Structure 1
Amino acid sequence: MQEFRFEVDDHGGSTVLVDGYPQSYVSLTDPELLVFGYMQHLAAVADSLPAGPLAVTHVGGAAMTLPRYVQHTRPGSPQIVLEPDAALTEAVRHELPLPRGHRIRVRPQRGREGVAALKDSSAGAVVVDAFADSQVPADLTSAEWFADVARVLLPGGVLVMNTADEPDHRHVARVHAGLARHLPHTAAIAEVDIWKRRRFGNLVLVGSSQPLPLDAVVRSVAKGAFPSTVREGAELTRALGSGRPFTDADAVPSPPPPTPPDVWRIR
């Protein structure tokens, strides 16, 4: 079972730490305050989609930072959160209550099983931000997984996935290959140091069956606090390198993060 705790800062925001690693930051008074770079990147993609309520399935919940953001920026959005750690969900509900009038439904399910139970063409976006033992689970990296996500998405819907890798990007290259097989219009967002292969870190992958609204994503990412770049097409393939898609038979979790949590591996 994962261990978690809440740390409140001087501004009234709360960081949720899971197994000693910061997983979520929530400000109950300002849901648009996103302090983690990868969370800003996830939100940039959500913001680029057509205005109005958005049906979102979140794989991984923690403190539900992005569901709160979507509810605030797109009131009335029907959202499903697949979070297998029921104890964490209960603690979050107690310490950081969800806003009134929300349409966020939390299901105590793992991502693979939860998505498999969803109807075809039922989500405008699927957001994957799921870590177990501080790693993306293997079953959320395979080509078969991405095929099921593609089934669930509406035409033009997007998959947005937070993953993490070593500076060589070998793991994420294989994840991207599986994603591109089923959602061929792809992009990735990461901080500049990560693209330069200087350190371990997060990359956000984006995929769709139709062309992505990348101009809007680029503008939003450019406003972020962390210097970051959006890459697509041949530029993205060069940046990641080639990779053979993972399958359910050979998929492995993403590499573990540095230990202790406040130390980054730097090349």
Structure 2
Amino acid sequence: MGRSNRAARSPEPALTTGPDGRGHAQGPLTRPVGSGLAELRPDRDRPHAWSLLIDGAPQSLVDLADPTHLGFEYQRRLGHLIDLVAPPGRPLTVLHLGGGALTLARYVAATRPRSRQQVAEIDTALTELVRAELPLERGWQIKVRGADARSVLERTPEGSVDLVITDVFSGARTPAHCTTVEFTTLAARALAPGGWYTANIADGGALPFARSQVATLGAVFPELCLTADPAVLRGKRFGNLVLAAAHTPLPIADLTRRVASDSSHGRVEHGRALTDFTAGATPATDATAAPSPSPPPGVFR
């Protein structure tokens, strides 16, 4: 889904006081940002929670009172991986490629104090909006760079991060240059021994993009798994799929238990089942890659 900049600005909503003591918008707030029209929409059930949408496509959910709350199913699945990459509470060095409302960076900071995190978010206007309306807590070591995800990855020192989380979308599509063997090789280079690479992607139907992405990660990493809603895996609906890859064995049993106990039903594919899922798909390269598919009309309604 493409995005267009719009000059129109909604009337300023009334303000309410958030848990940080600052005034925040009470009703939906919209702003044009670099990637389209951003909307912060209050959550009906959680008084300090906000959803971020870009041109109508849901991007993130943030609860200022509880940064450990992950409202989107794909974020909860990434949260499970964050929980399992190291013993509970141990600080991590994390590189987030794609920032949005910084939901996962907040989660890491809250669950693993003293973690050092860097976020690559090319849309600086979006980052300014998020920082103003959904401020980070003092003391969190989160640095946001206004740059392309791949360019930040290229400059990341070798062996310097425990976890790379790729959640890069332009509109509702992952850009081609962030889907390739070359990109994945850069991510593998950045990982410290025992580190993991994770990615959120979206696909539907016969899942050709997802199958190619599994093949792409498999060209670089020996250990892989994929987590998604069974309906997405069966091609019944368009949705998110979360990939994880490493040079050491992944905790498949622990991840499977966590996914099975989640409020949104999910399935973990690995080993032979994941090989069968790939079904001879070709890895994407810089010469052949295409963006992820556009969501079908009405998928976000």
User: TM-score normalized by structure 2?
Assistant: 0.85
1:38 lines up with 2:68 in the alignment: no
Write the mapping of 1:15-34 to structure 2, written as runs, cut at 5 A. Answer: 15-34=51-70
- 1:4 pairs, out of 31, 38, 46, with 38
1:128 lines up with 2:166 in the alignment: yes
Given that 1:195 and 1:239 are in contact with CA atoms closer than 8 Å, whether structure 2 keeps it comes out as: no
Question: Aligned equivalents of 1:50 and 1:155: distance in 2?
Answer: 12
Partner of 2:136: 98
Shift of 1:50: 1.5
Tell me the number of residue pairs that the alignment of Structure 1 and Structure 2 aligns. Answer: 263
Shift of 1:223: 1.9
Moved more, 8-17 or 94-103: 8-17
User: TM-score normalized by structure 1?
Assistant: 0.96
Question: Aligned equivalents of 2:235 and 2:61: distance in 1?
Answer: 26
**Which of these two proteins has the greater Rg computed from alpha carbons?**
2
Partner of 1:258: 296
Question: Aligned equivalents of 1:54 and 1:217: distance in 2?
Answer: 19
Partner of 1:108: 146
Question: Aligned equivalents of 2:128 and 2:148: distance in 1?
Answer: 16
Give the alignment's Cα RMSD to 1 decimal: 1.1
Amino acid at match of 2:253: D
SS in 2 for 1:182: coil
Partner of 1:82: 120
SS in 1 for 2:219: helix
Question: Aligned equivalents of 2:38 and 2:126: distance in 1?
Answer: 7
Write the mapping of 1:187-266 to structure 2, written as runs, cut at 5 A. Answer: 187-263=225-301
Amino acid at match of 1:87: A
SS in 2 for 1:72: helix
Question: Aligned equivalents of 1:181 and 1:107: distance in 2?
Answer: 29
Given that 1:53 and 1:77 are in contact with CA atoms closer than 8 Å, whether structure 2 keeps it comes out as: yes
Amino acid at match of 2:136: L
Shift of 1:152: 0.3
Amino acid at match of 1:102: W
Q: Deviations over 1:129-172 (max 9, x none)?
A: 11002101101111111111010011111111000112201111
SS in 1 for 2:80: helix
Structure 1 gap segments, 5+ residues each: none
Question: Aligned equivalents of 1:118 and 1:188: distance in 2?
Answer: 25
Question: Aligned equivalents of 1:237 and 1:200: distance in 2?
Answer: 21
